[in-house]
Amino acid sequence: MLAVMLLTLLVSGCVTTTDSRFSREADRQEALDNYVKLATAYIGQGNLERARFHLDRALDLDPGAPGALAAMGLVYNAEGEPELAERSFRKAISEDSDFTRARVYYGAFLFGHGRMDDARDQFLAASRDTGYQDRGSVFFNLGMTEERLGELEAAVTSYRRAVELTRGDARSLLALSRVSVESGNYNTAARYYSRLISLMQRDQRLVHSPESLLTGIRIARYLNDDDQEASLALQLKNNFPESGEYQQYKVLISNGN
């Protein structure tokens, strides 16, 4: 449905009732934007061939279009062409250093290739754009990157901003709880973990993961809440017996920690 709607917009955008230079430029920009929207939708569906088709059309209109270049970077990366992907991301940013989406894409690319320092720089720059629609995810990504770098205090700060901006989505609450535990801030961890549990109780689609169960177990052990620990440990054992978190739990109890 989205593709059909966007295609309709694309076709209607090519109709003009005036030959003025400004109207022609507006039509051109609308067509370019719609090509990129269509391509992005196809990338989300894994249809790289159709995505490339529309991006080629967009780049024919404007070889320096940041949105098209950034999306083409996603296509290259999915096709296993990291050098071309990075070149495309970097060109998008050079064309418009304020184009936050390109920095988010590039940051994710760098994160995926283990280049954490560079990824942090891109996410940090993206986080300064107060008008970016999905700013909460930017801070979540920044927190993950800082965590990988061992910068736990910075990660806590970033995850807290993600919680604030997303009004407490599950992944941000869990990340903040877990890293607070790692930092030894158990009371803070307990407060955010309680919010996570309340959210799960209201939304039956949200279920425990090995990560959330182990985080809760560690908080319960600190608070000497034996019943909570036993309940979560049983779920971890029964539902995720082969998980790394269950192995960590067995080490935890064997050490008496």
Query: Helix/strand/coil (H, E, C) string of 205-229?
Result: CCCCCHHHHHHHHHHHHHCCCHHHH
Question: Residue 71 burial by CB count (10 A; 0-12/13-18/19+): exposed, middle or buried?
Answer: buried
CATH number at residue 59: 1.25.40.10
Structure tokens at 83: 């050098």
**Residue at 158 is within a domain:** no
Average pLDDT (118-125) is 98
Which residues, including other chains, have CB under 8 Å from residue 171's CB and lie 6 or more apart? 140
Lowest mean pLDDT among 51-65, 109-123, 225-239, 243-257: 243-257
Structure tokens at 188: 């803070």
**Residue at 193 is within a domain:** no
For the chain, the average pLDDT equals 91
Strands (E), 60-158: none
Owning domain of residue 5: 1-10+26-93
**Residue at 64 is within a domain:** yes
How many CA within 13 A on the CB side of residue 155?
Answer: 23
**More confident: 115 or 28:** 115
**Residue at 67 is within a domain:** yes
Identify the DSSP state of 242.
Answer: T
φ/ψ region of 224 (left if φ > 0, alpha if ψ in -120 to 50, else beta) reads left
What's the total number of domains in the chain? 1
The model's pTM is: 0.87
22 has a pLDDT exceeding 60: no
Measure the CA–CA gap between 42 and 108, rounded to whole angstroms: 19
Which residues, including other chains, have CB under 8 Å from residue 205's CB and lie 6 or more apart? none
**Residue at 35 is within a domain:** yes
Q: What is the pLDDT of residue 25?
A: 75
Q: What is the pLDDT of residue 57?
A: 96
Q: What is the pLDDT of residue 257?
A: 60
Quick: pLDDT tens for 184-215: 999 999 999 999 999 999 999 999 999 999 99
**Residue at 160 is within a domain:** no
**Residue at 59 is within a domain:** yes
**Residue at 136 is within a domain:** no
